[in-house]
Structure 1
């Protein structure tokens, strides 16, 4: 009786906690050309970002801005699997440029981030900080933290306790002789 109950509670615990693991597997930027922090002699004709998972072309956005937060003219993103490519169509000069991206993971979670590179002498020393602030911070693929994580843990524990109680009740009802 106790062994069955323990096995049932363990199985329910695994059933509740294991499916939550893939939520941490959000898409992420794995490489870029030009690379983050690169110093180039001339403005690149194209910018390529490679991600860990395949991209949905409908929900892939790439924006390039200069140190003054002015958008640089670029083509619409061309998506091929996990790679997104844009062509620089304008004629920007020496500056610090920020590439901001927003993509949607397979699980539907939006991921966004940005990085900067410099062309020529770049902009004044204060500009990189301003340019980096032009795009929202990167969203990592880490598990939720803070109140969200505590609520998820509390719900999982409550589900295990309720399921364990239901199994114990069911097992105790099975053992009683019919009246």
Structure 2
């Protein structure tokens, strides 16, 4: 009788170790799948400015690499407003632009790679008002969102949802393992 109980404990432990390990991985996976994000931008997305600033600054959640930092600022007529190459300083990527560029809607596009290898890309727009057109109050400009959701944010949000089905599947495996053990134990008990 004692041997059967010891064997039962070992079998139950084996049946529960794999599901427990899978559950631990599933809980840790969403955190590991987090991607670098654009935290803030200057000028901000959808902002209306009286004039074009001398530079566009993008601040990310992780440090960037200079080698893979690509930023473009496009004027309303499709030309580049950049006067140099993007410069990286830690989490910030800055691109100098020509403040004498024409008024209208500008597009900022970026594709950068963080120091840990995560690529991030996206774009947003802002407007430079004509000299004689009214501009919104600073309060209204401050209320506009700083960034738009990037493709990597969407992917990161979806990958975080993967943990729930994995946990459900792990639970089902654990229940099936315990059920199989109980059935085997009943059959072994009837054979005595």
TM over 0.5: yes
- Give the direction of change, closer, same or farther, for the CA distance of 1:41–1:24 in structure 2 (3 Å limit): same
- Give the direction of change, closer, same or farther, for the CA distance of 1:105–1:14 in structure 2 (3 Å limit): farther
- Give the direction of change, closer, same or farther, for the CA distance of 1:90–1:101 in structure 2 (3 Å limit): same
CA-atom RMSD in angstroms = 3.7
SS in 2 for 1:47: strand
What residue is the counterpart of 1:55 in the other structure?
64
What residue is the counterpart of 2:150 in the other structure?
138
Shift of 1:144: 4.0
Greater Rg over alpha carbons, structure? 2
**2:57 counterpart of 1:45:** no
Unpaired runs of at least 5, structure 1: 123-136, 169-179
CA contact (8 A) 1:23 1:143 kept: no
**Cα distance in 2, alignment partners of residues 97 and 43 from structure 1:** 9
Structure number having the greater helix percentage = 2
Determine which structure has greater relative contact order: mean sequence separation of CA pairs < 8 Å that are 6+ residues apart, divided by chain length: 2
What residue is the counterpart of 2:117 in the other structure?
108
CA contact (8 A) 2:56 2:94 kept: yes
CA contact (8 A) 1:64 1:100 kept: yes
Match of 1:14 among 11, 16, 23: 23
Shift of 1:84: 0.9
What residue is the counterpart of 2:143 in the other structure?
none
SS in 2 for 1:20: helix
CA contact (8 A) 1:100 1:114 kept: yes
What residue is the counterpart of 1:132 in the other structure?
none
Q: Alpha-carbon deviations, 1:106-160, whole Å to 9, x = none? A: 55232111111111239xxxxxxxxxxxxxx822162446xxx6xxx78xx69x9
Q: How many pairs were matched up?
A: 148
What residue is the counterpart of 1:25 in the other structure?
34
SS in 2 for 1:84: strand
SS in 2 for 1:21: helix
TM-score by length of 1: 0.65
Unpaired runs of at least 5, structure 2: 1-8, 132-148, 181-192
TM-score by length of 2: 0.61
Segment drifting more, 23-32 vs 54-63: 23-32
What residue is the counterpart of 1:118 in the other structure?
127
